[in-house]
Structure 1
Amino acid sequence: MADTTRITVTLPAELVAAPRELTDDVPEYVAEAAARELRRRLVEADLQRHQEERGAFTEAERMPVPGSSSTRMPAHRRTGRAGDRAGGGHRSRPR
């Protein structure tokens, strides 16, 4: 089992009700959501760094790969936090 830390989080009731309808393991659900957000931010920082080093993506580079399920990559916004990287990581278990 991965090393864990117990925390207390206060959320709006509707953000707790929805996961409870989907799963009996709300803490795992929240951990997976946090991991997805961390990955999204790391990818965003990598894309930002890439553009700073090599220039903005072209329209063709922003199009999805044929056969992939992804949609067109949005124009990358400048956040000024390209160097911010959170440590760690979480690998979701398949269900």
Structure 2
Amino acid sequence: MADTTRITVTLPTEQVAELRRLTDNVSGYVAEAVARQIRHQLLGEELRRYEEEHGAFTDEELAAAQARIFGAGGHDESASAA
């Protein structure tokens, strides 16, 4: 089992109610969300470092990356609805 540390967080009441509706393992749910956010931030930092060293990504490079991530459509329909 991974090492854990108990912490206390304060969340809006509505979010806590929704969390409890969605899962019976709030700690696990929150841990997954935090891990996802950390990965997102680290990836963003790495992409910024890459662009500082090699220059901005071209439109073609961005389109190719989107195609690999989201498939032939080139974009995530659920993300554009947010």
Considering the TM-score relative to the shorter chain, is it more than 0.5?
yes
Q: Look up the SS of the partner of 1:29 in the other structure.
A: helix
Change in Cα spacing, 1:23 to 1:3, as seen in structure 2 (3 Å) is: same
Q: Structure 1 CA distance, aligned partners of 2:29 and 2:40?
A: 17
Q: Structure 2 CA distance, aligned partners of 1:27 and 1:35?
A: 12
5+ long unaligned stretches in structure 2: 77-82
Match of 1:28 in 2: 28
Q: Look up the SS of the partner of 1:10 in the other structure.
A: coil
Q: Structure 1 CA distance, aligned partners of 2:35 and 2:61?
A: 26
Q: How does 1:56-71 map to 2 (within 5 A)?
A: 56-63=56-63, 64-66=66-68, 68-69=70-71, 71=75
Letter matched to residue 20 of structure 1: R
Q: Of the two, which has the highest radius of gyration?
A: 2
Q: TM-score, normalised by structure 1?
A: 0.68
- Residue 23 (structure 1) shift: 0.8
Which one has a larger percent helix, Structure 1 or Structure 2? 2
5+ long unaligned stretches in structure 1: 73-95
Match of 1:39 in 2: 39
Identity percentage over the alignment? 53
Larger RCO: Structure 1 or Structure 2 (Cα < 8 Å, ≥ 6 residues apart)?
Answer: 1
> Which aligned runs of 4 or more in structure 1 are off by greater than 4 angstroms?
none
RMSD over aligned CA atoms reads 1.9
